[in-house]
Amino acid sequence: MARRARLRSDSQIYHIMLRGAEKQDVFIDDEDKKKIMQILMDKKQDNAFFVYAYCILANHIHLIIREGNDDISRILKRAATSYASYFNKKYSRSGHVFQDRFKSETVNDEQCLQSIIRFIHQNPENAGIADMDKYLWSSYREFVRLSTGGLADYSYILGMISKDRDLALREFVKYSRIKGREEFLDIAEEKEICLENVNDYIRNYLKNSTLTIEDLKKPESRKVRDAIIIYLLNRSNLSRRNIAEILGINRETVRKAGLSKGTAVNMGHSTKAESA
């Protein structure tokens, strides 16, 4: 099955998740976490890219990156290769360190960007590891301490909030404390459908009809569209944002479809959908 091309971000900003192969821990001690930070610092020289936020946990890392003079695939390939060389040498092992392909989602507006930063910074708390203001391996402390020479370009983010630095920081901390309900990339259990193969599943169903993906936007296609949405919500780890972008519809349409029971699409025949 052919891999699906990555969605391109109009803003050149992406939320990235790089995960250990076979769910293994790849940032085992403080030295490992310092190493991946140093690699990213080195690779982003000469405006190759910009890091707006990050959080490093034992078996994965979250990054918000804006492309500069380099593209996202090359950025992650170079960083992952450098870290894998270090990791394999340190732990006397060989083979893949990270999953073959990193996960990504586009970030195309400021509200979404701020929500994902909050989600990333809350990761240690949500995982029961540490309060986000005490966790050493995320960009949150760089923001609140206005640290210089760190990995994150917090000035850009605070500048979006207010030109008054003190006010921007107060509003940032206040917003960061709100428990968000948005869905973003996470390390939930892998399911059969993902960003790389979702179009194949959709095309497989639509090939037996006269409908195209573009037709799914039309009111008269609602029944089929909702069935596909329910199936994707049940059988994938795709967020509502992902599904909306893939189908070319708004997130509210996806949300409403997910609130109801319906007929789920299953490779050309239908099954009773589970409740979303």
Which pLDDT value is given to residue 251? 82
Interacting residues of 93 by C-beta distance below 8 A, sequence separation 6+: 87
Distance from C-alpha of 152 to C-alpha of 134, rounded to nearest angstrom: 17
Give the residue, 13 or 237, on which the prediction is more confident: 13
Which pLDDT value is given to residue 267? 38
pLDDT in tens, 225-247: 988 888 888 777 677 888 888 88
The bridge status of strand 13-19 relative to strand 103-107 is: antiparallel
Distance from C-alpha of 34 to C-alpha of 150, rounded to nearest angstrom: 11
Q: What share of the chain is helix, strand, coil (3-state, %, to 5)?
A: 45, 15, 40
Which of the residue ranges 25-34, 38-47, 132-141, 242-251 would you say has the lowest mean pLDDT? 242-251
**Which pLDDT band holds residue 100 (cuts at 50, 70, 90)?**
confident
Which pLDDT value is given to residue 201? 81
Q: Which residues of 207-242 are buried (b: 16+ CB within 10 A; e: fewer)?
A: eeeebeeeebeeeebeebbbbbbbbbbbbbbbbbbb
For residue 13, the surrounding DSSP H or E stretch is: strand 13-19
Distance from C-alpha of 247 to C-alpha of 217, rounded to nearest angstrom: 8
Q: State percent of the chain over pLDDT 90.
A: 46
Give me the mean pLDDT over the 168-181 stretch: 91
Fold of 13-176: Alpha-Beta Plaits (3.30.70)
Which pLDDT value is given to residue 152? 95
For the chain, the domains span 13-176, 198-272
Confirm if 262 and 230 have CB atoms less than 8 A apart.
yes
